[in-house]
Amino acid sequence: MSSVTTPVSTDGQPPKRKRAEIGVKTLRTDRYWVQPLVTFIALMLFVIYSTWRAFMNADYFYEPLISPFYSPCLSTACPPGSSFWTPLDLPVAFSPALLILIFPLGFRLTCYYYRKSYYRAFWQSPPACAVAEPHGKYTGETRFPLIFQNAHRYFFYAGLAFNALLTYDAIIAFRNHEGQWGHASVGTLVLILNAAFLWFYSLSCHSCRHAIGGRLKNFSKHPARYKMWTWVSKLNGNHMRYAWISMVFVAFTDFYVYLVASGKITNFYFF
């Protein structure tokens, strides 16, 4: 028989209730730590790769291909032909990637999906569902600095400008090395795919979904925005997938340009 007995209260008050004493951080028996670990490793690899490339300050342009890490190239030190606007007179040693990466970085850092993944994988808040987090105190996104996550929409708008620019870069890649139009190479294809994936990522953004129609109360008064909202909502359901695909592919695109620019491979032309 059970050892449980009805507690007798001595002061006539109902017994005070507390949470169940369980003692262990979790009773989960599955391998809940695999997913945060995989996320951690994948994000770390990306951070390491992009840091290496951002500071390299070389092999990012080979007419007509430019790496997405270095576009737009705003420094006068950028190689000729890599940019149509170089307003900043910077020392040659200063990597022009550092001027612009803050925007895509900020976009991804404040992205609702990445927030979930790094809060879980890096900050362990929580490491997995129903697994206790190690921190003694928690205020979520209510105060500095995390309250700035609410600025995500501004990074989203900046991201749109970058997408437009990278699309432009992909279009001008329909030229050969001598600058003549009407040619296409593996590099063209890579740049096109990169721009496309970035568009999918941006358009599936939660802030985009909100701006396009989510903030409305009456969809029936705004049929066009409602229609667009249903499309964006569909994309939004796959936001995590687009986040990963576009991130891996942007690194791959940069790596491809690196290989071509450093002479390790030749950019094969279809026509």
Partner 1 sequence: MTYTANFRVWRGIGGEGELQDYTVEVNEGEVVLDVIHRIQATQEPDLGVRWNCKAGKCGSCSAEINGKPRLMCMTRMNTFEEGAPVTVTPMRTFPVIRDLVTDVSFNYEKGRQVPAFSPPKDLKPGDFRMQQKDVERSQEFRKCIECFLCTNTCHAVRDHEENVKFFAGPRVLMRTAELDMHPLDTLDRRRMAQDELGLGYCNITKCCTEVCPEHIHITDNALIPLKERVADLKYDPLRWLGNKIRVRGKDD
Which spans of this chain sit near ligand FES (rule: CB under 6 A)? 111-113, 152, 156, 205-207, 239
Residues 9-68 that bind partner 1 (CB under 8 A): 15-22, 26-30
Quick one: what does residue 205 bind among partner 1, ligand FES, none, with the CB cut-off 5 to 8 Å set by partner type?
ligand FES
Note whether 189 and 215 are within 8 A (CB): no
The residues that bridge with 66 in the sheet, in sequence order, are 61
Q: Which residues touch 25 (CB under 8 Å, ≥6 apart)?
A: 131, 132
Beta carbon nearer to partner 1, 24 or 93 = 24
224 binds partner 1 (CB under 8 A): no
Burial of 87-99, coded b for 16+ CB within 10 Å and e otherwise, reads eeebeeeebbbeb
Phi first, then psi: what are they for 62, rounded to 5°? -145, 105
Q: Which one of 1-9, 41-49, 244-252, 259-267 is the stretch in contact with partner 1 (CB under 8 A)?
A: 1-9
Q: Considering all CA atoms of the chain, what is the largest pairwise distance in Å, rounded to the nearest integer?
A: 94
3-class DSSP state for residue 62?
A: strand
- Residue 111 partner contact from partner 1, ligand FES, none using kind-dependent CB cut-offs of 5 to 8 Å: ligand FES
Name the packing angle between helices 152-171 and 186-203 (round to 10°): 160
10 binds, among partner 1, ligand FES, none (CB under 5 to 8 A by kind): none
220 counts as binding partner 1 under rule CB under 8 A: yes
Strands 65-66 and 61-62: antiparallel
Residue 196 beta carbon to partner 1: minimum distance, rounded to whole angstroms: 23
Tokens of 142: 């209510």
234 binds partner 1 (CB under 8 A): no
Tell me if 130 contacts partner 1 by CB under 8 A.
yes
- Residue 173 CB, nearest approach to ligand FES (Å): 25
Per-residue contact track with partner 1, 90 to 129, x per CB under 8 A? ----------------------x--xx--xx----xx--x
**DSSP state letters, 181-208:** BS--BHHHHHHHHHHHHHHHHHHT-HHH
Say if residues 204 and 236 touch (Cβ distance below 8 Å). yes
Q: In the complex with ligand FES, which residue's Cβ is closer, 238 or 266? A: 238
Q: Is 207 in the site for partner 1 (CB under 8 A)?
A: yes
Q: Out of ligand FES, partner 1, none, which partner does residue 133 contact, by CB within 5 to 8 A per kind?
A: partner 1
Point out which residues pair with 269 in neighbouring strands. Answer: 185
**Spatial CA neighbour of 250 closest among 174, 195, 184:** 195
Tokens of 92: 């040659």
Give the whole-angstrom CA distance, residue 271 versus residue 183.
5
**Is there binding between residue 241 and partner 1 (CB under 8 A)?**
no
Give the nearer residue to ligand FES in terms of CB position, either 62 or 242.
242
**Closest distance of CB 113 from ligand FES, Å:** 5
Q: Which helix (H) or strand (E) holds 61?
A: strand 61-62
Residues within the interface to partner 1 (CB under 8 A):
1-7, 15-22, 26-30, 112, 115-116, 119-120, 125-126, 129-133, 135, 137-143, 146-147, 150-153, 206-207, 209-210, 214-221, 226, 236-237
